[in-house]
Structures are given as C-alpha cells and as structure tokens.
Amino acid sequence: MATLALRRRSVIPGFGITIGFTLLYLSLIILIPLSATFIKSTQLGWGGFWTTVTAPRVVASYKLSFGASFLAAAINLVFGMLVAWVLVRYRFPGRRLIDALVDLPFALPTAVAGIALTAIYAPNGWLGQYLEPLGIKVAFTPTGVLVALIFIGLPFVVRTVQPVLQELKPELEEAAASLGASRRQTIFRVLMPSLWPALLTGFALAFARALGEYGSVIFIAGNMPMVSEITPLLIITKLEQYDYAGATAIAVAMLVISFLLLLIINLLQWWGRHRHQ
C-alpha cells in the first residue's frame, strides 16, 4: 500500500507517458531527419550512390576528415588527461583562469575560432611568420585542419575526465607507493582502470565533434580539392550546386562510417568497464 501511495504522489509521470514522449522527441529530432536523408539518397540508385560516394575527390575528403578527427581526438586524449590532472591535483595561481579557458571553445563561435587560428598560423601571422622560415606550414594545409580540430575537441576530454579524477583520492596513489608500486605501476594498475571508461567517452565525444566541424576548419584549411577539403564542406558544395541527392549520399556514407566507429568505441568502453568490475 505504501508503494502504491508513493507512486500516486510522485511528481514524475508514469513510464508509459515518459517513454512515449521520449520516442516522439527522438523521432522528431533524430530519426525522421535521418530517415529523410537515407530516402533522398535512394534517388540515385545503387549504382549512382556508389559512384558518388567513391569518387576520388570524395574519398580524399573522407581520408582527411576521419584521419584528422581520429588523430586530433588521440592527441586530446593524452593532453586532455594531463590538463585535467593538473587542474585537479595541483593548486597554483591562475588555476581558476585556466579552468575557465578550457571551456572557451564551447562558447566561442566556430567561425571566430577559425579566423583567429588563421590569423595566428598564416604565413604572416603571429606564429606563422616564425614557422614559415623553418618550412613548417600550418594554415591552408591539412595540418591546419588538425590544429582546428584539436582546438575544438580538447574540452570534451578534460570535462569528461576531470570529475572522475576528483573522485580518485590521492590516498590511493600514496597507498600504492607505500606498497612498493612504481609510478608506472600506479598509473596503469591503480588509476587507469578507473579512468579508462571516461577517457574513451572523452575520445568518442571529441572524435564525433571533430567529424562534424565546419566553421573553424574552412578558414584555416584552404579548401583545396584532394588536399585540404573536408567532407562537410563537400556536402555544402553539392547543396549549393542543387545536387541534393549527391549531398545526402555523401552524408549517408559518412553517417554509416561514423556510426560503426562510435559503436566500436562504445564496445571498447563497455568491455573496459566490465573487465575491471
């Protein structure tokens, strides 16, 4: 009786209402638009679809988008963990300022970020003018794409790992050291089992964010076909040419590849979580 009374007094709607609202919301926001994308691409037929998504220019954009996104997420995985570690484990002047600056890519419009990065790394920019004599070109090259993706992806790793590190008390490391564990053993046997799921989540978020990035990349990439042209830009180009079927075909191919990669990452995350339980 007490359970029934508690259910009647609950301010949360029942399961039927909430699951219905959830499915309706997901359908309107995600499922219906994605279904429309798949349906639109069928206008090409299988032969036309395959020809469109495997064109040399499109394949080159896949390699750049997925390769740069994966590399940027991997770099952020390492340095994002280091940033989170410093912010959690140490107290120093300016720590709060650095902590706030981590969120800057979230608040900064992507176009502004792209213009700022281009101004810094262009051949006549603040840093580019010193890198140019050394033969290092960043702006208007694939390297510029990588720099932009690292910039927008770093907060995802830091903010995912930071709460987990805050829960891991320094006493665990001290106990491991008192038992004779080396620093390497402490990192990989004491800390990493707890951090691994959060690191994979941050990696997946940074990777997914980088794949769909457009505003900050087009300014610094140079957008040269077969060299520094990302897939989102190619989709926009086809839309401007009123080739809607071709644009949706490329979008579908990118969506399927992204889904498979994220599925693999989630499976690794699930495996790592259950392995250490």
pLDDT, one tens digit per residue, over 35-46 is: 888 888 888 888
Mean per-residue pLDDT for 61-70?
Answer: 93
What confidence category does residue 1 fall into, taking pLDDT thresholds of 50, 70 and 90? very low
For residue 258, the model assigns a pLDDT of 86
For residue 10, the model assigns a pLDDT of 58
More confident residue, 274 or 242: 242
More confident residue, 95 or 192: 95
Whether the per-residue pLDDT at 188 is higher than 60: the answer is yes
Q: What is the C-alpha separation between 83 and 105, in angstroms, rounded?
A: 15
For residue 36, the model assigns a pLDDT of 84
Mean per-residue pLDDT for 68-87?
Answer: 94
Q: How many C-beta atoms surround the C-beta of residue 256 within 10 A?
A: 12
Q: Which helix (H) or strand (E) holds 21?
A: helix 15-26
Report the candidate in 25, 10, 74, 221 with the shortest Cα–Cα distance to residue 232: 221
Is there a contact between 153 and 76 (Cβ–Cβ < 8 Å)?
Answer: yes
Domains along the chain? 41-275 (1.10.3720.10)
Is there a contact between 121 and 147 (Cβ–Cβ < 8 Å)?
Answer: yes
Tens digits of residue pLDDT in 229-238: 999 999 999 9
Whether the per-residue pLDDT at 28 is higher than 60: the answer is yes
Q: What is the C-alpha separation between 72 and 265, in angstroms, rounded?
A: 15
Report the candidate in 218, 232, 213 with the shortest Cα–Cα distance to residue 114: 218
Report the candidate in 80, 265, 228 with the shortest Cα–Cα distance to residue 159: 80
Tens digits of residue pLDDT in 124-179: 888 988 988 888 899 899 999 999 999 999 999 999 999 988 888 777 777 877 77
Q: What is the C-alpha separation between 32 and 92, in angstroms, rounded?
A: 50
For residue 78, the model assigns a pLDDT of 93
Task: Say which amino acid occupies 96.
Answer: R
For residue 76, the model assigns a pLDDT of 95
For residue 271, the model assigns a pLDDT of 74
Tens digits of residue pLDDT in 212-233: 888 889 989 888 888 889 999 9
Q: Which helix (H) or strand (E) holds 167?
A: helix 142-167
More confident residue, 18 or 238: 238
Percent of the chain predicted with pLDDT > 70: 93
Mean per-residue pLDDT for 16-36?
Answer: 83
What confidence category does residue 196 fall into, taking pLDDT thresholds of 50, 70 and 90? confident
For residue 11, the model assigns a pLDDT of 61
Q: What is the C-alpha separation between 24 and 196, in angstroms, rounded?
A: 34
For residue 54, the model assigns a pLDDT of 92
For residue 70, the model assigns a pLDDT of 94
Residues 6+ apart with CB under 8 A from 269: 196, 197, 200, 201, 204
Q: How many C-beta atoms surround the C-beta of residue 222 within 10 A?
A: 17
What confidence category does residue 121 fall into, taking pLDDT thresholds of 50, 70 and 90? very high
